[in-house]
Each structure stands twice: as C-alpha cells, then as structure tokens.
Amino acid sequence: MPSSNRTAAPWLPTTAACILVAMLAAVAAGCAKPQPAAAPPAASEVMVTTPRTIQVPEYLEVTGRIDAELVVDIRSRITGYLTKVAFRDGQFVSKGDPLYEIDERPYVAKLAAAAGTVEQLIGEQKFLKVQVERYEKLVAKGAASQQEFDSYQAKGEENAGRLASARADHEFARLNVEFCTIAAPIDGQISRTQLQVGNLINQDQTSLATIVSIDPIFVYFNVDEPTLVRMMAHARESGRGLRSRDTIVDVGLVDDVERKYPYRSRVDFLNNQVDARTATITMRGRLDNPYSRDPAAPRPPLFRPGMFARIRLPLGDPVDRLFVPEAAVGTNQDRKILWLVGIDEIVTAREVTVGQKLGTWIAVEATDAARPLTTAERVVVRGLQRCREGKPVKPTTATEESLDVASLVPPVLRRDPPEVP
C-alpha cells in the first residue's frame, strides 16, 4: 500500500498543469476572434440651392469727388483800409452783389486832381489851336516868321500827347475809385471773411474770401486704363461718343449705403491723356444743383464742393450672369471657391471669380473655362465648414425666403435726361 501511494503522488501536479494550459488556450482562442467592423460616419447635413441667371448691365463702380465749376479767390485791386463788410459768412451771393468797401477818399482826391489836369490841358489845347490858326495867316502875309508858326504847331502836338496821358491817368483814378467797392464776380456761396473793418488791405496780395459756384456742379472720377479701352471699343461699335447725351452715370453720396445711386449726371469731359503714374484717366460729370435764397422758402443745395461720391459708370450692353448667395462663397487661402454637390451626394470644390453684387447675391464665374458653372449645379449655402473634398453629404434644398431672392434685382441704368434733385 505504501508503495502504491508513492506512485500516485506525481500525477496530481501534472493534471493541474494540463487544466491550466487548456484554460489559457481557450482564452487565447477567444481573443483571436475578429472584431466587428466600425460603422461609417454619418453624412454631414448641408443646405443647397441652384445658381440663378440674371441679365445685368455692365458697369463699373468707382469713387469720385464733387467740385465747383468756378472757384474765385477775392482780392483787392488797390491798397487801402477796409471800411465795410457787406455780407454774412457763408452767404449765397449773386454776381454784382457788393462784398467789401475800402476807404475811397484818397482815390477820390486823386481822381479830382487827374480831372483838373485834363481840364488844364484842354484849355491849353484851345489856346494853342487859336495861335496856330493865327500864325498860319500871318506867315502867309509875311507878318510873322515860319519859326514862330512851327513853334506853336509843335506845342499843339505836345499838348495833344500830354492830354492823352492825362486822360489815361484820369481813367486809372476813376477805376481805383470803382475798385474801392469789391463786388461778387460770380453767383455762388462765399466763405467766411478773412479780414474785418479797419484792417489794411494790400493790392493783389491780401486774400479776403473765396466764392464757389453751386449750380451747376461737377463730379470728377478716374477710370483705369483697361476700362478706358473697353469703353472706347464699345463707343466705336455703338457709334456713340463717351460725351454724348447717352453717356449717363449714376451718382450716390455717403448716405447711399444700399447703393441705389439716386442721382444722375451727364458726362461732359474726358481728359486728353492717361496719367502714367496711376494708369488712370479723369472723367467729369455735370450735376444740376438748384437752391433758393428766398428767406420765406429756403432751399439749400444738395451737393457741396469736396463731397465724396460713388459713381456707377455703364460699360456696355446687358449680359447674362450667374448669381449665387454670397454666403455660398468660401475662401481657400487667396482663392474663392464654391462647394458643389454631385448626383452621388459627394461634394467637390470649384474655384471661382466673383463679380458684382445684387442684394445678398453675387455674380460668380468658374476660373476653369473648361468646367463652367450651370444653373443645374447644387451649391452649398449653409454648412460649408462641414464640407470635405470627396466626402458624402446629406443635402436639403434651401427655401426661397431664406435665400432673400427678393433682393436679386438687377439695377436699371436709365438713359433719360437727369432730373433736377
């Protein structure tokens, strides 16, 4: 019996080891089973719309400045002391209205002296004329010498010269008296006076005030050289000059934030050369700018010299343009792109160039002419940040109200004569 017990003892550890190995094998087999595949990511939801074709006129938007037709610096033609200022600062004046008065007494005295000299020489002229006639008869009778006759005749000619000079001095003195009153040379608005009563005014040196004309008034603007070439080509094709009655530009002021351009101007000037420094040429439009000085019904002018202006300049006949909501235009570094959804619901980016705006819509054109945009494209307008090249999306069509389609109205470039503002 003891011998049999010693034989069975080594079997027990071996059995336990086998069981442990079997358990480890089972665990290893379970870990080796294939895991289930991960579900694909859900497609991003985006909102899409189709481009719209609108016929719009070709035009250029530039900035300009309003300037007066006439600007006059008021200066005195004589030297003297100021005795009267006959206007209010900023007053509207008419041509011929008195503005300043200078002490005229010294000039009146000089005028009287000049008049006396003229009268004296006229009396001398009469005496010499009588003497010449008398000695002419005496010489014929031999009662006087030819020398005496020639002497009086020469004095008569000398008198005629001094009389002409005296009359010129008299006219100069009369003008100086007239210049003691300074009148408005043009219609317009005067600035504030630079000198008050009692100040000494120096002839042709002292600036007293400035008058600018108000009605009509000009608006100046510059166009670049490529635009000029395009305008000239269209003018040749249409048979209309750039300064004809058909060349009307629309004008807006700083309050025209919606770019409605409520005023119109007829182009009446095109500069004769292009500025080589800026590669631009200056154009000018004429604006009616009526006003009323009547205290009972005052009407100030709308335009003032120096104002900022926006100009819309027509460039040619209307053309069809493709418009998309401005929110659909994305940016990739310095490029403008649209995200397009294909028939397989995969989005791709298309590089575009942008043009004029109509409300919240903007004109676009494919940069690659071989792949033009069409009205059949589905353009992403919301969810651009969720778009990835070649990835699927879940598109829904945007409503007309959310797209502000009502603002997609082309401007009307009117050709009728400008109305008085």
**Mean pLDDT value across residues 84-99:** 94
Token pair belonging to 338: 């649209």
Q: What's the CA gap between 78 and 175, in Å, rounded?
A: 10
pLDDT, one tens digit per residue, over 300-321 is 899 999 999 999 888 777 888 8
Average pLDDT over residues 265-294: 90
Instruction: Say if strands 44-49 and 393-397 run parallel, antiparallel, or are unpaired.
Output: parallel
Query: Pick the residue with more confidence: 338 or 30?
Result: 338
pLDDT tens string 40-76? 667 788 999 999 998 888 788 899 999 999 999 999 9
Q: State how beta strands 378-382 and 44-49 pair.
A: antiparallel
- Over the stretch 3-27, which tens digit does the pLDDT of each residue have? 444 444 444 455 555 555 556 555 5
- Look over the chain and give the mean of its residue pLDDT values, rounded to a whole number: 85
pLDDT at 35 over 80: no
pLDDT tens profile 229-278: 888 887 777 666 555 555 788 899 998 887 888 898 888 888 989 999 99
Question: How far apart, in Å, are the Cα atoms of 182 and each of 87, 93, 103, 176, 420?
Answer: 11, 13, 12, 11, 33
Distances (CA, A) of 69 to 64, 247, 304: 15, 20, 11
- What digits encode the pLDDT tens for the residues 155-173? 888 999 999 999 999 999 9
> Which neighbouring-strand residues pair with 267?
285
In DSSP notation, 168-193 reads HHHHHHHHHHHHTEEE-SSSEEE---
- Calculate what percentage of the chain has a pLDDT beyond 70: 86
